[in-house]
Chain A
Amino acid sequence: MSATIESPRSGRIAPQYRRHGGSKGNFEMIAWLFMRLSGVVLVVLIFGHLFVNLMVGEGIHAIDFGFVAGKWADPFWQFWDLAMLWLAMLHGTNGVRTIINDYAEKDSTRRWLKTVLYSATVVIIVLGTLVIFTFDPCPVVDGVPLPGGFCPA
């Protein structure tokens, strides 16, 4: 005869298993799911980014201001880079948040490290987003086009 073991949440075992209903809601579950979903998308976005920028044609030697101007003239690459920026920053920030929670033992140390982390995340995401959407292939300073720009003839 074999003993039947009740599943933990069946409510038929004592003491009854009760999930700790903290104030954080299901944030940690959403964060866990986000890491997996964004991870899959990032594999495609970053492998595509590396292939197009480093493997095709002259590879790294082709990268200069004109290369960026050529890519961002196309909304497809603007949104590719935007998605990569947001997903990679949020994925990386959540990863470092986990590492801080694991290794920083004092509450004050954790709070301080996370403040630095979140500040850096906001600055980089805002900066990167502005750069993608305010990019100007023909920058002009005091009425004079800067050298190296791509200006309409």
Chain B
Amino acid sequence: MPTKPAGTLYRGREGMWSWVGHRITGVVIFFFLLVHVLDTSLVRVSPEAYTAVIGAYKNPLMALGETGLVAAIVFHAFNGLRIIAVDFWKKGAKYQRQMLWAVLGLWLVTMVAFSIRHLSLALGGH
């Protein structure tokens, strides 16, 4: 007799948490995208209006925000490729957990490289 309800294979495990992470990062990226198209549209108002608003992206606090945004994008991208592999690769469902750890490993490597480069440029002497 099972002591736990059936269904815990998915619930509360890697499959569920990667789904939660995919949703949250997706919504964050979508709202940034709306703002980003609007700020870029200022190039049609005047060169000074655009340069002033883009200047807001260049302070240290925003540099951390940009790093967070890129962290969300990189997770969503790699986990999205994992979802495609689960759907289209014959052994995708079988290896979905291992693939999540590969996603997280690649995400970490990418983010270490991105953070070093972006933060040293953004926070560096200018």
Q: Which residues of A contact B (CB under 8 A)?
A: 36, 39-40, 42-43, 46-47, 50, 54-55, 58-61, 63-65, 68-69, 85, 88-89, 92-93, 95-96, 99, 120, 124, 127-128, 130-131, 134-136, 139, 146-149
Contacts and interface: CB of A to CB of B under 8 A. Distances in A.
9 contacts: A40-B81, A58-B121, A60-B118, A61-B58, A65-B48, A68-B40, A148-B47, A148-B48, A149-B47
B44 interface: yes
Contact of A36 (B26, B43, B54, B87): B87
Contact of B114 (A36, A55, A88, A99): A55
A146 B121 contact: no
B84 A148 contact: no
Contact of B43 (A39, A42, A65): A65
B77 A43 contact: yes
A128 B46 contact: no
Interface of B is mostly: helix
A94 to B, nearest CB: 10
B84 A39 contact: yes
Interface of B: 23, 26-27, 29-30, 33-34, 37-38, 40-41, 43-44, 46-48, 50-51, 54, 57-58, 63, 66, 70, 73, 77, 80-81, 83-84, 87-88, 114, 117-118, 121-122, 126
Given A127-B37, A127-B41, A40 B117 contact: no
A117 B37 CA distance: 15
Contact of A124 (B37, B83, B87): B37
Nearest to B88: A36
A46 B43 contact: no
Contacts of A96: 26-27, 30
Contacts of B87: 36
B30 A95 contact: yes
A48 to B, nearest CB: 12
Contact of A92 (B29, B40, B88): B29
Closest 10 CB pairs of A and B: A148-B47, A59-B121, A65-B47, A92-B30, A39-B80, A64-B51, A128-B37, A43-B77, A95-B26, A131-B41
Nearest to B46: A146
Nearest to A130: B44
A95 B27 CA distance: 8
Contacts of B37: 85, 124, 127-128, 131
Given A46-B77, A54-B118, A135-B43, A68 B50 contact: yes
Contact of B84 (A36, A68, A128): A36
